[in-house]
Amino acid sequence: MVVYGDVPWIGAILINVALVAYLALFVVVFALVMARLTTTNGPRALLAAPAVWVATELGRTYLLTGFPWVLLGYSQATVLPVAQLASVFGVFGVSALVATVSATLAFAAVATTGLPGAVPRMSQAGRPFVPLAASLTLVAMIAIWGGLRVRSATLLSGGEAIRVGLLQGNVAESDRWEGEKAAAVFQRYLDMTGQAVARGARFVVWPESATPYPFGEDLRATERIRVEARTLKVPLLIGSDQIVHGAGDSKYYNSAVLIRPDGAAGGVYRKIHLVPFGEYVPARHVFFFMSRIVQAVSDFSAGDSFDLLPVDGHRVSTAICYEIVYPNLVRQFTVAGSELLTTITNDSWFGPTSAPYQHFAQASMRAIENGRFLVRAANTGISGIVDPYGHVLARTGLFEPAVVVGDARFLRDATLYSRTGDVFAYACTALTALLLVSAMRSGRIRRI
């Protein structure tokens, strides 16, 4: 916020404190609910922890615009046999599984140590370990099923193959807007496009906001992109800002534009879920001191439809930047008919931290949930291709220019998760509410 948003240090600190407090709120809610349940029902209430935890994760996904970054289930993103559970219940189901093992282990520990409120050890010999044994058995069964699902690889032989090119320009933020540097950046992406096609790519994806000029505003730059598509005879997916001029006011969008092989615009997707304090300022009257970041980063408008883009007779979706961490948002694309998931991002803001790796892992989970190949183009990395089972088929390092060319497939089969959505997470929320109401009533009766 200080480096890229021109926000004073004190303002940036206050914003980050607010974000930390927001995320901590859900842990606090979890702790308060569990405290109430265990006070009323004893240690056995620990077994409700998975449902309560998932309920707080669902709240973190939607409350106050939501920020479901690194949910518990993502810890299994590379443990593919276990991660296959996401194709049934989404990442929330994987979170519940991880929490179940922890909860049953905690129950066994508390119930066998004679802590206040614990069940007597002698009268319950062996029983405290029954839930733990059951949870470990459940994990084993899911891992076996998931391993068989991965091994069957039925999705890898379906649909139509497409060779995809992903561009990672490794462009510094300042270079995109400075005169001659901006022109050089634009030329770099044109050259990289040619390299991808020379290596067999039939569909080329540029990262988020790759063009230094809003698409359609600089006629010369726009025409060069059209000529590139016509010359190479491939569709191009271009990450670009877009300005829609109105009678009284203009609107700015963070967009992905599909250029067809004939050079015509095939469609545009406008980012629906904007980044607070990065692309717009929520509750402006509260964060009045944030006006400078709006001027520096721009005040974007949100798109309002899950537009799909045509590629070789198929329909493709694009999630821009951190939209990919919203499970149901990406699922909506699949429900609308997307046969290939693409995501474009600019993670240069994160620097050399763990965040780009976390972002990529979360994107990988969307492939498993929806039974789709996912291709990702990131300005500074990580760019890559993920198959419907979560295998990373290709990936780049951070802060290095790269052209990735690899195979994906257009798929149409629906997973259970893509058909039912977050039903499991909502069921956990309903169960949590029922348990809490029951505990509160029991407490009142005891006082009477």
Residue 251 burial (CB < 10 Å; 0-12/13-18/19+)?
middle
- In a domain, residue 70? The reply is yes
- Are 74 and 214 within one domain? no
Task: Specify whether 431 is located in the same domain as 355.
Answer: no
User: How many whole angstroms from its chain centre is CA 407?
Assistant: 22
Residue 124 pLDDT > 50? no
Residue 121's pLDDT is 47
pLDDT (0 to 100) of residue 289: 54
Q: Could you tell me if 410 and 160 are in contact, meaning their C-beta atoms sit under 8 angstroms apart? A: yes
What three-state secondary structure class fits 182?
helix
DSSP 386-419: E-TTS-EEEE--SSS-EEEEEEEEE--PPPHHHH
Confirm whether 195 is domain-assigned: yes
| Active site residues per annotation | 208, 271, 321
Residue 3 lies in a domain: no
Give dist(CA 430, CA 374) in Å, integer: 32
| Residues 242, 190 within the same domain | yes
At 204-262, the pLDDT tens digits run 999 998 988 888 888 898 999 999 999 999 999 999 988 888 777 888 899 999 999 99
Domain-embedded: residue 103? yes
pLDDT of 288 strictly over 50:
yes
In a domain, 364, yes or no: yes
For the stretch 77-90, pLDDT in tens is 999 999 999 999 99
Whether 2 is covered by a domain: the verdict is: no
311: number of Cβ within 10 Å: 25
Tens digits of residue pLDDT in 343-380: 999 998 888 899 999 999 999 999 999 999 999 999 99
Minimal CA–CA distance to 57: which of 19, 94, 105?
94
Same domain, 400 and 429: no
Are 81 and 119 contained in the same domain?
yes
- According to the model, what pLDDT value does residue 16 have? 86
d(CA 366, CA 72): 15
H-helix or E-strand spanning residue 376: strand 374-378
Q: Are residues 24 and 84 in the same domain?
A: yes
Residue 149 domain flag: yes
CB 233 within 8 A of CB 404: no
User: Between these two residues, 119 and 242, which has the higher pLDDT value?
Assistant: 242
Please check whether residue 345 lies inside any domain of the structure: yes
Cβ(440)–Cβ(234) below 8 Å: no
pLDDT digits (tens, 9 = 90+) for 393-431: 999 999 999 999 999 999 999 999 999 999 999 999 999
Same domain, 278 and 133: no
Q: Report the CATH number that the domain containing residue 363 is assigned in CATH.
A: 3.60.110.10
Residues 330-339, mean pLDDT to the nearest whole number: 97
Q: Note whether 228 and 88 are same-domain residues.
A: no
pLDDT at 297 over 80: no
**Of 298, 213, 305, which Cα lies nearest the Cα of 268?**
305
Q: Domain check: are 140 and 190 in the same one?
A: no
Q: Domain residues for 336?
A: 160-411
Band the pLDDT of 292: cuts 50, 70, 90: low
Q: How many domains is the chain built from? A: 2
Q: What is the CA radius of gyration of the chain?
A: 24
Sheet holding 384-386, edge to edge: 309-311, 314-320, 340-345, 374-378, 384-386, 392-395
Percent of the chain with pLDDT over 70: 89
- Distance between start and end Cα atoms, the chain: 54
Q: Are residues 210 and 106 in the same domain?
A: no
The average confidence (pLDDT) of the chain is 90
pLDDT for position 251: 87
Does position 1 have pLDDT exceeding 90, yes or no?
A: no
Summarised one tens digit per residue, pLDDT across range 129-139 is: 999 999 999 99
Say if residue 35 is in the same domain as residue 172.
Answer: no
Q: What is the pLDDT of residue 447?
A: 60
347 and 432 belong to one structural domain: no
Cα–Cα dist 279/387, whole Å: 31
Q: Determine how many CB atoms are found less than 10 A away from the CB of residue 234.
A: 22
